[in-house]
């Protein structure tokens, strides 16, 4: 009786262990596969849209659609992600997401982008390596915005004021064109947020072959 119980418990623990290993594979590899597929689709849609003549419209970018492309030369030539509009769970599974209520790319105020650090292709996995002066390139239809990192900060997840038009100064009127990247901190934890601040340094016409992409 007791032998049977121990055997049954052993099998249950073994099954649980296999499920945990499978879950680790899912989070670290499976989620990335999903994001890579979504990024391929977003990249194709965005490049097709940018190849067409611009439409005169007052419509905002729809949630979940590609809004711009982010490149960080420090992370190598292959580092490129399409930024989606929105920061819902579904949006961030497809790539880094732009907070819709914040400034557009290159706009006056704060262009705020959030991205996963360990799952879903981990677009912001290495943002902790950025240092003052490192470049963050944001490509839009006609323009490449070159931002320079100004500082990094670790905050609690309730510090929504980092996304203000002037970070951490609510109500202040913006005079600069800023960028803020947010991701989880430390890796594999949601206890804090790592924030990267930057400001616009240069504005270049976007060309198909990027002048600055490495």
Partner 1 sequence: MYLWIWRRLPVRHPAAKAAVALGLVLVAVAALWFWVFPWLETQLAFDKSTLHEGAP
Q: Annotated catalytic sites, by residue?
A: 116, 184, 193
Nearest to 162 by CA among 201, 127, 118, 192: 192
- Please tell me whether residue 28 adopts helix, strand or coil conformation: helix
Q: Is 170 in the site for partner 1 (CB under 8 A)?
A: no
How many chain residues are in contact with partner 1, going by CB under 8 A? 35
In angstroms, what is the minimal distance from the CB of 184 to partner 1? 5
Please identify which residue in the block is written with the tokens 């943002």. 127
Positions 20 through 49 that interact with partner 1 (CB under 8 A): 22-23, 26-27, 30-31
Kindly tell me which residue out of 156, 171, 205, 209 binds partner 1, with binding defined by CB under 8 A.
156
By CB under 8 A, what part of segment 75-104 binds partner 1? Answer: 87, 89, 92
Q: Give the span between the Cα atoms of 112 and 96, in whole angstroms.
A: 10
Q: Could you tell me which stretch among 48-56, 66-74, 102-110, 153-161 binds partner 1 (CB under 8 A)? A: 153-161
Beta strand 177-185 with 97-98 is unpaired
Chosen residue from 60, 157, 169, 207 binding partner 1 by CB under 8 A = 157
In this complex, which beta carbon is closest to partner 1, that of residue 137 or of residue 195?
A: 195
Can residue 190 be called a binding residue for partner 1 (CB under 8 A)?
A: yes
| Long-range CB contacts for residues 121-126, cutoff 8 Å, separation at least 24 | 121/31, 121/32, 121/35, 121/36, 121/39, 121/81, 121/95, 122/32, 123/35, 123/70, 123/81, 123/95, 123/96, 124/96, 124/181, 124/183, 124/194, 125/187, 126/74, 126/75
Summarize as ranges the residues that interact with partner 1 (CB under 8 A).
8, 11-12, 19, 22-23, 26-27, 30-31, 87, 89, 92, 114-120, 124, 156-160, 162-163, 182-184, 188-190, 193
């Amino acid at each position: 009786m007791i032998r049977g119980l121990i055997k049954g418990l052993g099998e249950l623990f073994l099954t649980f262990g296999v499920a945990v290993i499978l879950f680790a594979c899912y989070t670290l590899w499976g989620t990335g596969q999903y994001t890579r597929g979504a990024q391929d689709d977003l990249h194709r849609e965005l490049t097709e849209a940018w190849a067409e003549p611009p439409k005169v419209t007052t419509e905002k970018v729809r949630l979940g659609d590609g809004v711009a492309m982010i490149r960080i030369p420090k992370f190598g030539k292959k580092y490129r992600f399409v930024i989606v509009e929105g920061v819902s769970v579904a949006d961030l599974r497809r790539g880094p997401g732009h907070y819709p209520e914040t400034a557009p790319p290159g706009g006056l105020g704060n262009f705020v982008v959030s991205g996963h650090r360990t799952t879903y292709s981990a677009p912001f996995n290495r943002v902790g390596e950025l240092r003052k002066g490192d470049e963050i390139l944001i490509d839009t239809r006609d323009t490449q915005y070159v931002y320079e990192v100004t500082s990094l900060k670790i905050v609690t997840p309730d510090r929504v004021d980092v996304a203000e038009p002037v970070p951490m100064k609510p109500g202040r009127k913006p005079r600069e064109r800023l960028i803020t990247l947010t991701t989880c901190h430390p890796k594999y934890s949601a206890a804090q947020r790592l924030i990267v601040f930057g400001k616009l340094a240069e504005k270049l016409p976007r060309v198909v072959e990027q002048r600055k992409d490495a």
